[in-house]
Amino acid sequence: VQRSDVLLRPWTGPFGGVPPFDQVEVSALEPAVHAAVGLARQELRAITAQTAPPDLDNTIEAYERAGRALQRVLAVYRVWTTTLATPEVQEVERRVEPVLAAWADEVVANADLFARIDAVAQQTERAAWSPESRRLVQQIHRHFVRHGARLSPTSKARLAEINQRLASCFTAFNQNLLADEETCVLLERPEDLRGLPAGLVAVLAEAATERGLSGAWAVVNTRSVVEPFLVCSTRRDLRERVWRAFVGRGARGGPTDNHALIAEILALRFERARLLGHPTHAHWRLEDSMAGTPERALALMEAVWGPAVMRVRQDVAEQRAEAGGEPVAPWDFRHLQERVRKRLHDLDEEVIKPYLQLDRLREGMFWMARRLYGLVFEPAPEVPVYHPDVQVWSVQTVGGRPVGLWYFDPYARPGKHSGAWMSAYREQEAGLEEVLTLVSNNCNFSRGAEGAPCLLSWNDARTLFHEFGHGLHGLLSQVRYGYLSGTQVARDYVEFPSQIHERWLQSPELLERFARHARTDEPMPGELLGRLLRATTFGQGFGTTEYLASALVDMRLHLADPPPADPAAFEVRALAEIGMPSEVVMRHRTPQFAHLFASDAYSAGYYSYLWADVLTADAFEAFVEAGSMFDQGTAQRLVTHVLSVGDTCDPAEGFRAFRGRDVEIGALMRDRGFVGAARGAREVSSD
Ligand SMILES: [Zn+2]
């Protein structure tokens, strides 16, 4: 038996089959991809070889059903490239990514296939299809057109070259970033640890030991370590060193420097957009978004930018006073912000943290999902996993209807990409047969010291709920076609279901039950909880500014004509033009901006978080207006019109059906404490 067969075969086991994570050999990944592409090619050939005239079933639905073996192989392959990226896996990735890009282009360039799809799309007016089938035809047809199906053979060939080269650039960008994130700032003397809490010191000690440097402390160059260090360390010199290493990721010169790659990516994207008939990459990307055009996305960003910067200036003034009149440097900002927060709100991250145990909050999320949506989570230890850190839960309704599986991979480790994300190993569908979804949440929390529970910061806890929101969006899907299922919605809409679930972390009912002290099991004292909830708009100026600066630079990079040849200089100029406060740095500087350059996914799309947050804030007020965060009628409407429908309807219509009107921006401004600044912004987000 060939080792790649196990990856190609239909999955077996419970829940309609599960990925055979316990039988994967890295050497089998690449042959499995090649074999699966071959199978998919045969399936498409069967569609185009038909003599029967094209119709919904024999063309569109047949196309939708094709390529399942490739989907299975890729589900496993992507787990290895994103969470188990050893040098061997990275080598495989460098070879496989261009193959996948070439395959995607081969499909779109298949003239016989597109002729049939186009013929079915022409039938739309007179066909008696269901609304979901209608949407499927429209979305598949649109995908082909947007990706070049109508181009001449010469242009298609150039497009394929561009896409394959981009795939290699993305992989190289990502691997450079991963390499820089595995470097560290080494601390060798106890006085270097000044201000750091014991939990963080333990994490740094363990990281040093892992690197064979016992007796020292390693500040690994990733967000989950760097941010708490910058908050806590009272050593200004070390804060500066750690900060410089972190914002310098991908910009260190030498073999891991990303600048040349970025210039090449921007040039290739620009050329591709022109081939596809759009003025710039941003125009092409936003065509199938909820915003629709770069201008509408920019208008929203600009409406929020001014008030956010104004708030940062107030924060800086407060911080200067806190620092005895010293100027505030970007490596001081988080530290001084925390000191001001302690003084103004009497809130100390280190006092809150022991109440935020990962295991308990996870139970809190399950409790939330049961109260809101009637979902029940139960451990499923029999399901195979790819790493001992990963745990799996089965999900069913209170009525006993099986829903799917939830995989959880919580901790940082070498070879795992930074950040947090959700993915679906298999999408829900209810076509020929009922298919249950398998979703996973991935985070990069620092594991607790040996035997101690993993404690989260308030921000980490929000990330936990955010990713679980994506997970619920996948789990609650109730659609016919996998192509339209779960989270496969417009990029600027997909963060709405995730962001709204962050709100339940602030539910006093949930916190009373699940925010319990790691040592004493006491619930968080009511007055601490009160202070915590009152301080939620604290720091929003900084958070919004570091985020929006990144989003604005993203949009400018992808609107530039011609595309910038020197991205470093472009970043400097763009920040000067928008009036970036010197005390704050972009959340993701260009050379480390994986959202933009590790794939096309969030390119000209980083604004999506803000766009979706306008929806989030407005939607959450529906619960407030109903008088309870757990109002059953409102939760049910959210499921009916948002969480269950995937991409089967236009997102603006889904939102309107849920809210009873179009979205309004006021709730977002109130939420971030920017009240009174929303003038003129309403219309940009009102459809
Ligand atoms: Zn998200």
Q: What is the rounded average pLDDT of the residues 476-491?
A: 97
Catalytic residue among 61, 467, 502, 546: 467
Q: Tell me the CA distances in angstroms from 229 to 180, 249, 279, 389, one per residue in order.
A: 18, 17, 44, 25
* pLDDT tens-place string over residues 392-436: 999 999 999 999 999 999 999 989 988 899 999 999 999 878 999
Dist. CA 606 → ligand 1 center (Å): 11
Q: Give the mean pLDDT of 41-53.
A: 98
Give the pLDDT confidence score for residue 534 in this predicted structure: 83
What confidence score (pLDDT) does residue 533 get? Answer: 84
Quick: pLDDT tens for 527-576: 898 888 888 778 889 999 999 999 999 999 999 999 999 999 999 999 99
Query: Whats the size of the chain, residue-wise?
Result: 687
pLDDT value, residue 293:
96
Instruction: Give 2's pLDDT tier (boundaries 50, 70, 90).
Output: low
pLDDT for residue 679: 40
The rounded distance, in Å, linking the Cα atoms of 333 and 311 is 14
* Distance, CA of 434 to CA of 432 (rounded, Å): 7
Q: What is the pLDDT of residue 224?
A: 85
pTM strictly above 0.85 = yes
Q: What is the mean pLDDT of the chain?
A: 94
Q: Is the pLDDT of residue 585 over 60?
A: yes
Query: Is 227 in contact with 523 (CB distance < 8 Å)?
Result: no
Least confident span in 97-106, 176-185, 663-672: 663-672
Query: How many angstroms separate the alpha carbon of residue 609 from the centre of ligand 1?
Result: 8
Q: What is the pLDDT of residues 175-201, one digit of tens each?
A: 999 999 999 999 999 999 999 999 899
Range name among 315-319, 350-354, 651-655 with the lowest pLDDT average: 350-354
Cα dihedral across residues 564, 568, 569, 574: positive or negative: positive
Q: Is residue 687 predicted with pLDDT exceeding 50?
A: no
- Note the pLDDT of residue 433: 86
Q: How far is the CA of 471 from the centre of ligand 1 (A)?
A: 10
Bridge partner residues of 516 (DSSP): 523
How many whole angstroms from 314 Cα to the centroid of ligand 1?
A: 29
Residue 684 pLDDT greater than 60, yes or no = no
Residue 683 is predicted with a pLDDT of 34
**Mean pLDDT across the stretch 671-687?**
49
Cβ contact 447:454 at 8 Å:
yes
CA of 3 to the centre of ligand 1 (A): 35
* DSSP run (H or E) holding 445: strand 437-445
| Structure confidence at residue 677 (pLDDT) | 44
pLDDT confidence band for 678 (50 / 70 / 90): very low
435, 426 Cβ separation under 8 angstroms? yes
Evaluate if residue 261 carries a pLDDT over 80.
yes
**Which pLDDT score, from 0 to 100, does residue 440 have?**
98
- Find the 615 Cα to ligand 1 centroid distance in Å: 14
| β-bridge partners, 434 | 430
Q: What is the mean pLDDT of residues 591-619?
A: 96
Residue 612 alpha carbon to ligand 1 centre in Å? 10
Q: How far is the CA of 608 from the centre of ligand 1 (A)?
A: 10
Question: Is 621 annotated as catalytic?
Answer: no
- CB 39: neighbour CB atoms within 10 A? 15
User: Looking at the predicted structure, is the pLDDT value of residue 167 above 90?
Assistant: yes
Distance from Cα 547 to the centre of ligand 1, integer Å: 14
